[in-house]
Amino acid sequence: MGEVKSDIEIARGAAMRPIAEVAAGLGIPEEALHHFGRWIAKIDFDFIDRLADRPDGKLVLVTAISPTPAGEGKTTTTVGLGDALNRIGRKTAICLREPSLGPCFGLKGGAAGGGHAQVVPMENINLHFTGDFHAIGAANNLLAAMIDNHVHWSNGLGIDTRRITWRRVVDMNDRALRRITVGLGGVGNGFAREDGFDITVASEVMAVFCLARDLADLEARLGRMIVARTRDREPVLARDLGAAGAMTVLLRDALMPNLVQTLENNPAFVHGGPFANIAHGCNSVIATRTALKLADFVVTEAGFGADLGAEKFFDIKCRKADLEPAVAVIVATVRALKMHGGVARENLGAENVEALEKGLANLERHVLNLRKFGVPSVVAINRFTTDTAAEHETIRRFCHDELGIESFVCSHWAEGSAGAEELARHVVELCEAPRARDGRGFRFLYPDEMPLWDKMRTIATELYGASDIIADKKVRAQFREFEAAGYGHFPICVAKTQYSFSTDPELRGAPTGHVVPIRELRLSGGAEFLVVICGEIMTMPGLPRRPAAERIRIDAQGRVEGLF
């Protein structure tokens, strides 16, 4: 066996096509492209507007079991499946989120897929890309500056500085910025108050950006964002400060979807990037809707496990954007399932069918959860070299006999599209099959008119296996206040650990009977959802003990090393 190449080495060996040629394959003319070099382009709004009357292609969601340190490979599978669908003659586009610098320099070291299932140019996508995240951070922080400036000069809106809820952001994991004090140093620096930073992907500007249909919708949503309260506890909106127009100017070019390609030269839209454990975890509506007008199949992903990413994709993104997914692909690995079955990370390379069978409870919970949305599903077993035939057969038999769905061992990491061809053919079959036997088809987990508290309880009991939710008196009162203020129709966006169905990251598998504690509520008036923060989840992550940044450098040839 030859030496295994790293992701970045494979990406460097790609025979990329000029992005204009990739775009032409989707029917996008040269004049509709805004180029960022030879390999990256943004798609013009005028061209996107002309697509409105075209029919939509089939939307395929890639989600996963609850993530573990063993790895699942959701983005890699999304790319591999998209390539495989093109390989079997189905015109397919891929829709992904943009990587955040925080995880790239923290744990991941890169987030553009892996092996022979990547989007390229990998270094550009992982590092700054087209500047979208910087524009989002600038717009967020412009609003923060305008709030403090308003208070400094006149405070004509009567903002109570104790009730300013808008936080600053930076696209980096920096725990020291979670809580800060601003306005120190004298009267010329404004009023001293406690403030804090979130990571850029947790900003409501990111959520608004990813849910906006066009520039007009973007500006309207930005204007509806709640930034503070008065002494009478009346909300102060971004539009009250006159900020929405300037923020939209900063975001104008960023809102155009980014087009890149896979290693096999197939089109991929990489746009937007909220995390699913603290936001709604989907790429932009404008990218997804554009892809659906241009391709027969669109493969997209939602962040982390299906309990977070898929639920928010269905209940938030599909609800807001009038999307109807055709199929869900659940990514699992033998290694991750064994970890859910109690095996320590250092022992995952050894065959352990007993632990695997125990860990299958996590996969089962996700499969059963997806059925509650009326979406047909299939399991993609992302193959690792340490897997054994007995372990693969255990998963296949369980899926077929116990869950009534198919599973496919996929080797797209090593073989590219050829390694996911069988999965692709089954996805096409599911997409083209008659609708659900019950006649209901795709559906949301809860209706708009359900009270906010009951929506959260429904998510916790129906999807997490919890017995109930709890919150202190102050949080319960906030639920009632939001209902009375006219926000009761908003969907719920749960912020919790991605590693467990519970709020305890160490509780793997498929726990039941636990109680979900609600710590805090954040009303996102522009994104039009209620963020419910559960457990000890942080909206500003910290770097690990040995961050990936320690391995990232420029080599003697001027090339980036350490992204993988």
CA gap 281, 13 in Å, rounded: 31
DSSP 314: I
The answer to whether residues 268 and 377 belong to one domain is yes
Is 404 found in the same domain as 365? yes
Which residue, chain included where needed, has tokens 């352990």? 352
The DSSP code sequence of 527-539 is TTEEEEEETT--S
> Which neighbouring-strand residues pair with 407?
379
At residue 110, does pLDDT exceed 80?
A: no
Pair (486, 398) in one structural domain: no
Of 198, 230, 135, 142, nearest in space to 531 by CA = 198
Q: Is residue 89 part of a domain?
A: yes
Distant-in-sequence, close-in-space partners of 219: CB < 8 Å, separation ≥ 6? 244, 245, 247, 248
Tell me the three state secondary structure of residue 519.
Answer: strand
Give me the pLDDT at residue 378, please: 98
Query: 3: which residues sit within 8 A by CB, 6+ positions away?
Result: none
Residues 244 and 267 in one domain: no
Confirm if 75 and 276 have CB atoms less than 8 A apart: no
- HSE toward the beta carbon, residue 354, CA cutoff 13 A: 2
Residues 286 and 392 in one domain: yes
Query: How does residue 38 score in pLDDT terms, banded at 50, 70 and 90?
Result: very high
What is the pTM for the complete model shown?
0.95
In a domain, 540, yes or no: no
Number of separate domains in the chain: 3
- Say yes or no: 90 and 229 in one domain: no
Final residue belonging to a domain, choices 195, 215, 250: 250
For residue 456, is pLDDT > 80? yes
Give the confidence band of 14 by pLDDT, cuts at 50, 70, 90.
confident
Tell me what pLDDT residue 548 has.
86
Q: Which residues of 455-475 are buried (b: 16+ CB within 10 A; e: fewer)?
A: bbbbbbeebbbbeebebeeeb
What is the average pLDDT across 432-446? 78
pLDDT at 2: 53
For residue 329, the cross-strand partners are 62, 378
In a domain, 564, yes or no: no
CATH at residue 137? 3.30.1510.10
Q: Which burial class, exposed, middle or buried, applies to 342 when counting CB atoms under 10 A from its CB (0-12, 13-18, 19+)?
A: middle
The percentage of the chain sitting over the pLDDT mark of 90, rounded to a whole number, equals 86
Tokens, residue 348: 């995952």
pLDDT digits (tens, 9 = 90+) for 472-489: 999 999 999 999 999 999
Domain boundary among 372, 402, 432: 432
Same domain, 58 and 170: no
For residue 104, what are its two tokens?
A: 């790239």
Residue 563 belongs to a domain = no
End-to-end CA distance of the chain: 21
CATH code for position 467: 3.10.410.10
Distance CA 111, CA 97 (A): 9
Structure tokens at 483: 């209902």
Whether residue 295 is predicted with pLDDT greater than 80 in this model: the reply is: yes
String of b and e for 290-316 (b: at least 16 CB within 10 Å)?
bbbbbbbbbbbbbbbbbbbbbbbbbbb
- In this predicted structure, what is the pLDDT of residue 348? 93
Q: How far apart are CA 222 and CA 113, in angstroms?
A: 32
Task: Over range 250-262, report the average pLDDT.
Answer: 98
**Domain match, 177 and 229 both:** yes
Question: Which of 250, 274, 298 delimits the end of a domain?
Answer: 250
In this predicted structure, what is the pLDDT of residue 440?
67
Together in a domain, 114 and 155: no
- 297 shares a domain with 269: yes
What is the set of active-site residues? 74, 76, 97, 108, 276, 304, 384, 413
Task: Report the C-alpha gap between 382 and 411 in whole angstroms.
Answer: 7
Q: Which domain holds residue 35?
A: 7-130+254-432
User: Does 275 reside within a domain?
Assistant: yes
CATH code at position 351: 3.40.50.300
In a domain, 225, yes or no: yes
The per-residue pLDDT of the chain, averaged, comes to 94
Residue found under tokens 């209940």? 315
Q: Are residues 487 and 342 in the same domain?
A: no
Residue 336 belongs to a domain: yes
Residue 528 lies in a domain: yes
In contact, 502 and 464? CB cutoff 8 Å = yes
Say if residue 89 is in the same domain as residue 147. Answer: no
What does the pLDDT look like over 190-210, one tens digit per residue?
Answer: 999 999 999 999 999 999 999
385 burial type by CB count under 10 A (0-12 exposed, 13-18 middle, 19+ buried) = exposed
Beta strands in 101-157 (DSSP E): 113-114, 117-120
